[in-house]
Structure 1
Amino acid sequence: MNILLTGGAGYIGSHTTVVLSQAGHNVVILDNFCNSQKSVLDRLQSILGKALPYVEADVLDAAAVEKALRDYQIEAVIHFAGLKAVGESVENPLKYYANNVQGSISVLQAMKAVGIKTFVFSSSATVYGDPQYLPYDEKHPTKPMNPYGWTKLQVEEILHDVSISDPQWKVACLRYFNPVGAHESGLIGENPSGIPNNLMPFVARVATGHLPKLNVFGNDYDTKDGTGERDYIHVMDLAEGHMAALTYLENHPGWHAINLGTGIPVSVLDLVGAFEKVIGREIPKAFAARRTGDLPVYYAQPERAKALLNWAAKRSLDEIAASTWKWQQTTVKTER
């Protein structure tokens, strides 16, 4: 299958590129490189043994997207391109609505013009908001707590309306929990610019000495060790979930919301402890006050993914930590 990955040079997109390419699909990357580096393309070539076609363009440019769809005879789109920092979305909501919502509309308009109707959307568990019960299943009410989450939910609703308007559309909205880890080669992984917003890359930078210590926000939650608990999923498991979703859509038109998570809550100290075990020393850390808006616990009910996609996360916390450290040692330290 010929597949266009918008944002395909990003963290999750690049790993999904590897999984799809190694399974025999023809992948084309469309990216504006605002949150990724072009060097990712060279590293993907090293992993795959071949160069991948790419288009440097913004998803807001519907004409450029349409040209890419036609030029490469695309049959399906996986839409990763989007801004994803919760704090920034609160500070600059217009930027997020323009990029994430209008960008998605542009892609869909281009697809409609060409006649492509298979779409996998990179959504988020943030669509659920404050948990009314745990674990979150796909029937949980949706009420995001920040503009980033609202952009994801609005695109899901647009996709739902599109699928109702034309029953030939095949749409999967994949609600991610907390992607972490890196490819086993150490050549691709998460390397955010500036100070990381996410826990694992922050821990890794403390381990390498680029940041002095880890601030653990809150150690008085009603959890097993007082720190917040999250559902951390290895990025390669997540990437394999996208391929499973594409396979499922081949014979299942309509709109489908599916959680991608492990179903296992892991505390901040558990995650840090796994990393400390890999590097063989303690990570400097200090406890700080809770952050406004942080939830004590959230994690997935992943049974729908297992039932529909025949998919389940299989990589361990130790594998997450080991792959992250290899990525830091192999590639990040040479590029920073």
Structure 2
Amino acid sequence: MQEKILVTGGAGFIGTHTVIELVQAGHQVVVVDNLVNSSRKSLEVVERITGVEIPFYEADIRDTDTLRDIFKHEEPTGVIHFAGLKAVGESTRIPLAYYDNNIAGTVSLLKAMEENNCKNIIFSSSATVYGDPHTVPILEDFPLSATNPYGRTKLMLEEILTDIHKADSEWNVVLLRYFNPIGAHESGDLGENPNGIPNNLLPYVTQVAVGKLEQVQVFGDDYDTEDGTGVRDYIHVVDLAKGHVAALKKLQKGSGLNVYNLGTGKGYSVLEIIQNMEKAVGRPIPYRIVERRPGDIAACYSDPAKAKEELGWEAGLGITEMCEDAWRWQSKHPNGFED
């Protein structure tokens, strides 16, 4: 069934790839983004890839009045909510900005949704809500306990959305706990394009490979992992985007409150990521070991079986495609969307 879906943060890395998958699945899409960490040009690429014009509103989700107007005008049936700040390290330095953007922004969005009787939401949560897990792989029913302000904003928002559903069963909520999205669109024209120095590993590695940055900083090599560097579950952004389309089908059935891990179920260390990127690039990538970052943990990877069983979704692309696609994007567009 075709629905009109409002996508917050829809000009960002995961947002743009999800918009493509939504359009290709036959949905109408409206995008709201304040362009703080994204570019209007990314949506132009989406329009070129899909052949569909995407209605776009440059707005901050903390501006409830503007959101109300958008909901009244567009009348979406559901929301996929990506908008927010998203870097663990940065969140420990500027926690207030994270609580303001992520918590206050989402509350503002939920108010506008409720006033316009739009009670279907897919929320972009994160594996950081599991904190430092007692074991891996991680299941959805593991204890929740974030170790940094970014993770705490995601955990608080999960709790807020759970409370809203408990108070009003008309709300349908899907909480998607992502692991680490990397890769890029196969065209090489759409990928992660952080403003300033990247906060996430893969864009940092690709910017070193393309010569924009001098060397990769590896935060700690004394973790309890095989090579001492942090292990994470990396997932191709296109697989992640397809997970949202699968979750939307669940949402449309009036399914109440559901939680899913979206990951591959495999863990790769920082050094393994660098080695796989070296294969994609065809040359060594310089790195140096530096101090651990506050809030980081040793290992974090998912058990994605529940998403496979209930959504019919699983990741299909491996680490080779993730690195090759990320490199295709970065080498084709060394300055991101400014090229």
Q: TM-score range by the shorter chain?
A: over 0.9
Return the match for 1:204 from 184, 188, 206: 206
Consecutive aligned runs of 4 or more in structure 1 exceeding 6 Å deviation: none
Taking only the aligned residue pairs, the percentage that are identical comes to: 50
SS at match of 2:335: helix
Which of 275, 279, 282 is the aligned partner of 1:280? 282
1:62 matched to 2:75: no
Q: Which of these residues, 300, 311, 314, is aligned with residue 312 of structure 1?
A: 314
Partner of 2:173 in structure 1? 171
Q: For structure 1, which runs of at least 5 residues remain unmatched after alignment?
A: none
Letter of the 1:55 partner, please give it.
Answer: Y
Counterpart residue type for residue 153 of structure 1: L
TM-score of the pair, normalised by structure 2: 0.96
- 1:27 and 2:29 aligned: yes
**Deviations 1:104-138 (CA, angstroms, capped at 9, x unpaired):** 11111111111111100011111111112211111
1:103–1:292 distance in 2 versus 1, CA, 3 Å? closer
Q: Is the alpha carbon distance of 1:293 and 1:95 closer, same or farther for their aligned partners in structure 2, counting shifts above 3 Å?
A: closer
Q: 1:242 aligns with which of 241, 244, 269?
A: 244
SS in 1 for 2:125: strand
Aligned CA RMSD, in angstroms, stands at 1.4
Letter paired with 1:71: H
Q: 1:96 aligns with which of 98, 119, 142?
A: 98
How far apart are 1:252 and its partner, in Å? 4.1
Matched letter for residue 317 of structure 1:
I
Q: How many residue pairs were aligned? A: 336
SS at match of 2:238: helix
Q: SS of 1:270's equivalent?
A: helix
SS of 2:333's equivalent?
helix
Partner SS for 1:259: strand
Q: What amino acid does structure 2 have at the position aligned with 1:313?
A: A
Deviation at 1:86, TM superposition (A): 1.9
Is the contact made by 2:24 and 2:50 (CA closer than 8 Å) also made in structure 1? yes
Q: Is the 8 A contact 2:33 2:83 kept in 1?
A: yes
Deviation at 1:238, TM superposition (A): 0.5
Q: What is the distance in 1 between the residues matched to 2:105 and 2:275?
A: 39
Letter in 2 for 1:229: V
Sort the Cα spacing of 1:221 and 1:188 in 2 relative to 1 into closer, same or farther, 3 A.
Answer: same
Contact 2:169–2:256, Cα closer than 8 Å, also in 1: yes
Quote how far apart the aligned CAs of 1:289 are: 3.6
Q: Is the 8 A contact 1:168 1:253 kept in 2?
A: no
1:209 and 1:58 map into 2 onto residues whose CA distance is 34
Q: Bigger CA drift: 67-76 or 219-228? A: 219-228
Q: Distance in 1 between matches of 2:153 and 2:72?
A: 28
- 1:188 corresponds in structure 2 to 190
2:55 counterpart of 1:48:
no
Alignment deviations for residues 147-180 of structure 1 (CA, whole Å, 9 cap, x no partner): 1111111111111011111111110011111010
2:79 alignment partner in structure 1: 77
80 and 275 in structure 1: CA distance in 2 versus 1, 3 angstrom threshold: same
Letter of the 1:301 counterpart: D
Query: Do structure 1's residue 290 and structure 2's residue 289 form an aligned pair?
Result: no
5 Å matches for 1:231-270?
231-270=233-272
Paired residues for 1:134-145 under 5 Å: 134-145=136-147
Letter in 2 for 1:95: A
How far, CA to CA, are the matches of 1:63 and 1:162 in structure 2?
A: 21
Q: Indicate if the aligned counterparts of 1:164 and 1:254 stay in contact, CA closer than 8 A.
A: no
Matched to 2:152, the amino acid is: W
Match of 2:300, SS state, is: coil
- TM-score normalized by structure 1? 0.96
The equivalent of 1:221 in structure 2 is: 223
CA distance in structure 1 between the aligned counterparts of 2:88 and 2:287, rounded to whole angstroms: 23
Which sections of structure 2, spanning at least 5 residues, go unmatched? none
Contact 1:2/1:28 (CA < 8 Å) preserved in 2? yes
Kindly state the Cα deviation for residue 12 of structure 1 after the two structures are TM-superposed. Answer: 0.5
Contact 1:167–1:253 (Cα < 8 Å) also in 2:
no
DSSP 3-state at the match of 1:51: coil
CA distance in 2, matches of 1:263, 1:53: 36
Q: What amino acid sits opposite 2:153 in the alignment? A: T
1:10 aligns with 2:5: no
